[in-house]
């Protein structure tokens, strides 16, 4: 493996990521799957990096999940997205920061459509005006939350209390990076590192001491999709996608998986349980599974946030093996102790501190 070849490609795919004054739009379901992630992100941005991240209380889902399931027509989706832009304009911000990868893909796709078909944009403006009376300005910069963490990875590394290093052996942890399909497969130039060898998570992991693994099914979708799993009978296809990835990464003995999409960690995490139930197979070492993290959780762990405050107890595949390797202290009894969880949230304002 020649890293120089990859570096040449990464240089070709650089993108503009805004510095400050972000308009944060949340994910519909991420707070349910991984409760600590978005909170950790906001804490890192506001408290650690002292950035201005604004959330409008009236912002809604981008309807990407409905659009991709053929439930919401594309004209409706575009109008809802236009409303999000209008809220952003009203609040005086220009840099859009979606939390969800599908949102990011949707916003990129819609902006690109409007770029090539201005008549569609004009129609959407009219629809929005008729429906809500709002006007909007298109965002100057569109960057996904993982892009922003990638941009500030060095600052986070400087404040790191733990590194992605196995404290028993001194070796970097072996990390599998899984990028959400909507990040760069549709528009490779809009993703850091392009579509073949995306760099956004690799950069983070390398900066924080870990080592990325390249395995044959690296590009494979985790199977989230939307229509594949919304109907119960189709879920076999989704499981098979994740299973193919696990079979491919197993020989490389990864310690953990890092992802930047809401759906991917959900599936990679939960399907390990399902595959174990159905076929008795486990993919980690010592009969364990491979813990799956979102990048905010990894950033939080690196900065020393408590694992149970980050919501890691909600993961189906136990995260304790990685916590042990990194040398993070935690109490097993406190794991589901809501009091501790509540302790963190007392007196903490979530919106627009």
Partner 1 sequence: MAGLEAAGRLSMSGFEVSLLEKENKTGGHLNNWHKLFPDRRSSSEVMEYLEKISQSDVIKVHTKTTIEKLSKNKNRFSIITNNGKELLADAIIVATGFDIFKSARKEEYGYGIYDNVITSADLEDMFRKDKISLMNGNTPKTIGIVHCVGSRDEKVGNLYCSKLCCVTAVKQAIEIRELIADSKVFCFYMDMRMGGAYYEELYREAQETYGVNFIRGKVSEAGVTIDNRLVVKVEDTLAGRPLKMELDMLVLMAGMEMSEGGKKFAGISGLKTGENKFFDASDHHFGSNKSNEKGIFYAGTCTAPMNITETISHARAAVAEVLDYLNDRSE
Partner 2 sequence: MEKFGFTVSKGRQIDYDANDRSIAEYIFDREPSFRLCIECGGCSATCTTGNFTRFSLREFNILIKRGENEMVRDKIKRCMLCGKCTLVCPRGVNTRNIVFLAKEAFKKSNDYAI
Binding site for partner 2 (CB under 8 A): 232-237, 239-240, 243-244, 274-275, 277-279
Q: Is 5 in the site for partner 1 (CB under 8 A)?
A: yes
Q: If you write DSSP's letter for every residue of 58-121 in order, what string do you get?
A: T-----HHHHHTTSS-HHHHHHHHHHHHHHHHHHT--EEEESSHHHHHHHHHHHHHHHH-HHHH
Smallest separation, CB 272 to partner 2 (Å):
13
244 binds, among partner 2, partner 1, none (CB under 5 to 8 A by kind): partner 2
Q: Is 169 in the site for partner 1 (CB under 8 A)?
A: no
**Distances 37 to 40, 183, 254, 261 between C-alpha atoms, Å:** 5, 18, 22, 11
Q: Is 171 in the site for partner 1 (CB under 8 A)?
A: no
DSSP state of 45: I
Q: Is 215 in the site for partner 1 (CB under 8 A)?
A: yes
Query: Using CB under 8 A, which residues numbered 231 to 290 contact partner 1?
Result: 251-252
Q: In what order do the strands lie in the sheet with 95-98?
A: 53-54, 22-25, 95-98, 141-142
Cβ atoms of 70 and 334 closer than 8 Å: no
Only segment of 6-14, 71-79, 108-116, 232-240 that touches partner 1 (CB under 8 A): 6-14
Q: Which residues contact 124 (CB under 8 A, 6 or more apart)?
A: 75, 78, 79, 82, 114
Cβ closer to partner 2: 169 or 232?
A: 232
353 binds, among partner 2, partner 1, none (CB under 5 to 8 A by kind): none
215 binds, among partner 2, partner 1, none (CB under 5 to 8 A by kind): partner 1
Q: Which of 220, 330, 243 is nearest to 289 (CA)?
A: 243
Scored b (16 or more CB within 10 A) or e, 47-70 reads eebebebbbbeebebbbbbbbbee
Smallest separation, CB 235 to partner 2 (Å):
4
Smallest separation, CB 193 to partner 1 (Å):
10
47 binds, among partner 2, partner 1, none (CB under 5 to 8 A by kind): none
Cβ closer to partner 1: 9 or 351?
A: 9
Note the residues at the interface with partner 1 (CB under 8 A).
1-2, 4-6, 8-9, 194, 196-197, 214-219, 251-252
């Amino acid at each position: 493996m020649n890293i120089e070849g990859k570096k040449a490609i990464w240089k070709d795919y650089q993108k503009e990521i805004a510095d400050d004054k972000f308009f944060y739009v949340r994910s519909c379901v991420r707070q349910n799957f991984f409760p600590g992630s978005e909170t950790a992100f906001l804490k890192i941005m506001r408290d650690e990096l002292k950035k201005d991240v604004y959330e409008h209380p009236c912002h809604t889902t981008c309807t990407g999940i409905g659009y991709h399931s053929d439930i919401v027509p594309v004209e409706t989706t575009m109008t809802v997205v236009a409303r999000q832009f209008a809220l952003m304009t009203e609040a005086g911000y220009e840099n859009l920061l979606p939390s969800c990868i599908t949102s990011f893909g949707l916003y990129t796709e819609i902006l690109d459509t409007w770029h090539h078909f201005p008549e569609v944009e004009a129609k959407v403006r009219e629809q929005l005006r008729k429906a809500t009376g709002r006007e909007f300005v298109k965002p100057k910069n569109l960057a996904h939350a993982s892009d922003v963490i990638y941009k500030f990875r060095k600052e986070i590394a400087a404040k790191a209390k733990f590194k992605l290093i196995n404290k028993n052996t001194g070796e970097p942890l072996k990390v599998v990076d899984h990028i959400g399909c909507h990040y760069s497969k549709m528009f490779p130039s809009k993703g850091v590192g392009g579509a073949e060898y995306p760099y956004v998570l690799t950069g983070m992991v390398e900066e924080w001491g870990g080592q990325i693994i390249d395995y044959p099914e690296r590009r494979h979708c985790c199977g989230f999709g939307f229509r594949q799993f919304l109907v119960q009978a189709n879920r076999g296809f989704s499981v098979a996608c994740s299973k193919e990835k696990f079979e491919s990464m197993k020989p490389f003995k990864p310690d953990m998986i890092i992802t930047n999409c809401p759906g991917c960690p959900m599936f990679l995490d939960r399907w390990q349980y399902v595959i174990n139930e159905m076929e008795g197979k486990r993919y980690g070492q010592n009969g364990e599974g491979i813990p799956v993290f979102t990048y905010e959780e990894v950033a939080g762990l690196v900065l020393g946030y408590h694992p149970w405050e980050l919501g890691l107890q909600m993961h189906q595949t136990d995260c304790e093996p990685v916590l042990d390797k990194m040398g993070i202290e935690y109490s097993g009894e406190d794991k589901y102790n809501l009091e501790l969880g509540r302790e963190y949230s007392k007196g903490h304002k979530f919106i627009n501190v």
